[in-house]
Amino acid sequence: MDINEIARRAGVSRATVSRYLNNGYVSQEKRELISRIIRETGYVPSQHAQQLRTGKTRLVGVVIPKINSQSVSRMVAGITDVLGENNYQVVLANTNNNEHTEVDFLNLFAKRNHVDGMILIATQFTNAHHAAIKHLRVPLVVLGQRLPGHDCVYHDDYHAVFDLTSLALRSSRTPGYLGVFEEDQSAGHERRRGFVDACAAAGISLAPEAMRVVSFDADSGYFGAEQILDALPEVDAIVCATDDIAFGATMCMIEYGKRVPEDVQITGVGDSLLSRITHPSLTTAHLPFKTSGMEAARLLLHRIESGNAPVQEVKMGYEVYARNSIR
């Protein structure tokens, strides 16, 4: 079975079938007829032949920092929904938060014969990253970070944490903060800046021991909260950079005999599933991770099809959900 046989059965030209397979213009009547024959025969177009004909692989490389992250999985779900609807497939590359592996994948996917474009779910940008991006020969969209001069989709991390902190400070005067490494511009630097600025706006001076840098997981949240409690026994609120960190901090407070939220308020970021069903339910900021993934995929497809379109920077919104972990 080949394209000539499909054309013969449909009673159309080979060129019409080719336009159909490549999303070109075909009348609705002929489109439905060709579609029915392809379904009946089980015909699968040769990807290699299509690549030779169009110069496209219809593959998109997606580089992710962590495969078991809820936020990343929601982004990838949005990406694959949009790309699948447009007959693109995804090649997923997990870096396990290794910056060198991330650069290696950028260099690998940069080759034209591998993918038509790339989406990088980024955490940081080293000199090696900038060098690799500069030499890319395929379109790139950065997701989760703002990268001036490049197509990117990112979240309003600063204002999300500013508002969360302001909410907690309505009934707290000795807050602490559990954040992640500052090289991560969005989750690290911007969220910490939101916390610090909200405290300043409330007239609160922060001691260095009130702020700790931890990893993204709950265990780190537990030990970070333990360090804050040891150095600052009067702490009455802990703002956390992620929901997972907040879960760990909550468990720490409970095990040390602190009531949440009566003694210590706790907030997270991410609106994960557990934030709604844990006890007490977690006050958090909903960041539209899946929607941002869909937006990044649409932006990349537009770049692939249009070539020299103006650079677009898309900042997503957020919602603060006040639940039972604050007073």
Give yes or no for residue 51 having a pLDDT over 80.
Answer: no
Architecture of domain 59-154+289-316: 3-Layer(aba) Sandwich (3.40)
Where do the DSSP E strands lie in 146-201? 152-155, 175-179
| Region(s) of the chain under CATH 3.40.50.2300 | 59-154+289-316, 157-286
Find the mean pLDDT for residues 140-167: 97
Task: Kindly report the pTM of this predicted structure.
Answer: 0.82
- Give CATH 1.10.260.40 domain extents, the chain: 3-54
Q: Which structure tokens are listed for 138?
A: 């395929």
What is the helix (H) or strand (E) element at residue 306, kind and residue range?
Answer: helix 289-306
| pLDDT of res. 52 | 42
* Structure confidence by residue, pLDDT tens digits, 56-78: 678 999 999 998 889 999 999 99
Question: Most distant CA pair in the chain: distance in Å?
Answer: 81
Top-level class of domain 3-54: mainly alpha
> Does the structure show a pLDDT above 70 at 113?
no
Give the contacts of 220 (CB within 8 A, at least 6 positions apart): 178, 214, 245, 248
Q: What rounded mean pLDDT belongs to the chain?
A: 91
pLDDT in tens, 179-207: 999 999 999 999 999 999 999 999 999 98
Give per-residue pLDDT as tens, 252-265: 999 999 999 999 99
pLDDT at 253: 98
Stretch 147-162: mean pLDDT, rounded?
A: 97
Q: Are 95 and 101 in contact (CB under 8 A)?
A: yes
Selected from 3.40.640.10, 3.90.550.10, 3.40.50.2300, 3.40.50.720, the CATH number assigned to the domain covering 157-286 reads: 3.40.50.2300
Note the pLDDT of residue 48. 44
CA angle 42, 46, 51 (to 5 degrees): 145
Question: What whole-number percentage of the chain has pLDDT above 90?
Answer: 72
The answer, yes or no, to whether the previous bond of 280 is cis (omega within 30 of 0) is: yes
Average pLDDT over residues 219-236: 97
Q: What is the pLDDT of residues 5-44, one digit of tens each?
A: 888 888 899 889 888 877 778 888 888 888 888 888 887 7
Q: Find the mean pLDDT for residues 248-252.
A: 98
- Mean pLDDT value of segment 110-128: 86
User: Could you tell me the pLDDT band of residue 286, with boundaries at 50, 70 and 90?
Assistant: very high
Element (H, E) at 290: helix 289-306
